[in-house]
Amino acid sequence: MMTTLWSALGENSSVVLESPGLSLTGKELLEHIKNRAAKLHSCGFAPKQRIGFVFRRNSQSIIEFLALMYLGCIPFPLNPYFTLARLKQLIEDLQFAAFFSDPATIHILAQTAKGYEIGGKDIENFLLSKADYKLLDTIEHKAAIGILTSGSTGMPKVVMHAGESIIKNASLHAQAIALAAEDRVAMTMPCYFSFGIVANLLGTLLNRSCLVVFESSDVGAIVRTNWLQENKIQVLNTTPAMLADLCSARADFLKIVTVGGDQVSFDLAKKALKNWPRAKFYATYGLSEAGPRVATWQFDAASLNKSGQTLLGKPLAGVELRISGSKDEGELIVKTPTAMLGYFLNPIETLKVLNTETKEIKTGDIVRKDLDGNYLLIGRSKRIICRGGEKIHPGEIERSLQKIPHIKDAFVSPMPDERLGQVPEAFIIADAILTAESIRRSLRSFLPSTQLPVKFHFVDKLPQEAMRK
């Protein structure tokens, strides 16, 4: 099924990728992908190799990532804000055949990651394993990508997808929002999220639309520099946190706005509708295990006022939704043709979530069915903090806190945040006087900045809910 993507590019003489100083037609982009794939092949890259890939939002990373897929490798997109210690641990735990990042990071990790060396004399942005490569899981034979996600244990899980799954899901998403070939689509989403990779990147290229890449890490610059208007953007994919930052931008020219990664609040949805009256708005629901897109709800002021909140909406073609438990409320079960193959090296957790025969997925989300048959999201059964679309497991933060001297125990819970939805707050038992700032400094050695608690409570006893975690 990946051949569908290469065909879409090879047959397209229109511009499909734009970034500062670069404009490529589909044919030109495919040529760049093939040339880079040939270079990597000459360095020893081969099909079904696991490749750690720090995915930055720029054209170079996009071409590199697509070249790995063209070769038949299995890229594992990684957060560019992961600490060096986290990257080193992932390299060693997942036994990558190679690992891509910026040259400075590669030179540091070459000294610390056991069994790896810098790839080539003229290419200094990847490490190669010195060990003989081997497959570790049977699902790798069908896999085309591995996407890290938070799990119920707090340790990273890797969702493995077949190529046909992500291509189909990307195509279904484009159809659901009526994406047109002539549309100019902003690439403002993080590239290591399933939403950013499948819906934003692959969905745009498959549909032969033009992907315009915002390369700066300063999202606020989109508003300050009038980037949307300057680049004639027509389609904007966002998370609720990003929408909150951007909806003050002058953008009455937008055709389509999608919001995914988390539920958008009623007030934010109303504000966006008011500020961008010409755009068609779509709330999208999904999870990495499902492909990721599952359902889409097109809303306007009237439908939003009627429902009082954004709904899950209409399932994508071939997707079925049902409730486990009572008739009108319970855990949402999703049956989809784009279900994951499973979690990498984790068959027990896979069976807890995925019925491999029926392709049904337990989402962990609690929903209610209204009188019109619409599904309303009312809570989460998993202890996950959803910060601006990023899923954070409190257990990972708690373990990092417990590594800090004088901290005897810790409990982390979600705290409501107007812009991000939820943020972590920490309750700490310590045997010495500590400050919030000193703890934050220590945590930066273990965690990306997005996972740092925004508030600390120094207590003699942890909250009662800590006993149920």
Instruction: Evaluate whether residue 435 is within a structural domain.
Output: yes
What is the mean pLDDT of the segment spanning 25-37? 98
Within 8 A by CB and 6+ apart from 139, the residues are 160, 341, 342, 344
Interval 131-146: pLDDT, tens: 888 999 999 999 999 9
CATH code for the domain of 170: 3.40.50.12780
**Per-residue model confidence (pLDDT) at position 384:** 77
Q: Which residue matches tokens 């090879």?
A: 10
426: containing domain:
385-468
Query: How high is the pLDDT of residue 150?
Result: 57
Given a cut of 80, whether residue 325 has pLDDT beyond it is no
In a domain, residue 63? The reply is yes
The pLDDT of residue 328? 81
Contact 233, 258 (CB under 8 A): no
Tokens of 304: 């939003």
| Section 213-219 average pLDDT | 91
d(CA 188, CA 179): 17
| Type of residue numbered 370 | D
Q: What is the mean pLDDT of residues 168-186?
A: 96
Structural domain contains residue 234: yes
Average pLDDT over residues 192-200: 93
Strands 329-335 and 320-325 turn out to be antiparallel
Confidence (pTM): 0.84
Pick the last residue of a domain from 319, 348, 380.
Answer: 380
Distance CA 439, CA 451 (A): 13
Q: Measured between alpha carbons, how far is residue 259 from residues 150, 238, 284, 342, 390 in Å? A: 20, 5, 6, 26, 13
pLDDT per position as a tens digit, 96-134: 999 999 999 999 999 999 899 988 666 678 999 998 889
Q: Which two tokens stand for residue 319?
A: 């997707």
**Of 195, 157, 153, 152, which is closest to residue 381 (Cα–Cα)?**
152
Where does the pLDDT of residue 30 fall: very low under 50, low under 70, confident under 90, or very high at 90 and above? very high
Q: Which of 339, 364, 380 is the last residue of a domain?
A: 380
Query: Are 108 and 206 in a shared domain?
Result: no
Q: DSSP assignment, residue 196?
A: I
Mean pLDDT, rounded, of the chain = 91
* Residue 172, φ and ψ in degrees, nearest 5: -65, -40
Does residue 454 sit in the same domain as residue 420?
A: yes
Over residues 9-25, the pLDDT tens digits come to 999 999 999 999 999 99
What is the rounded distance in angstroms from the CA atom of residue 228 to the CA atom of residue 246? 10
Assess whether pLDDT exceeds 90 at residue 419.
Answer: no
User: How far is residue 54's CA from residue 80's CA, in Å, rounded to a whole number?
Assistant: 5
Domain boundary among 380, 415, 447: 380
Q: Is 180 left (phi over 0), alpha (psi -120 to 50) or beta?
A: beta
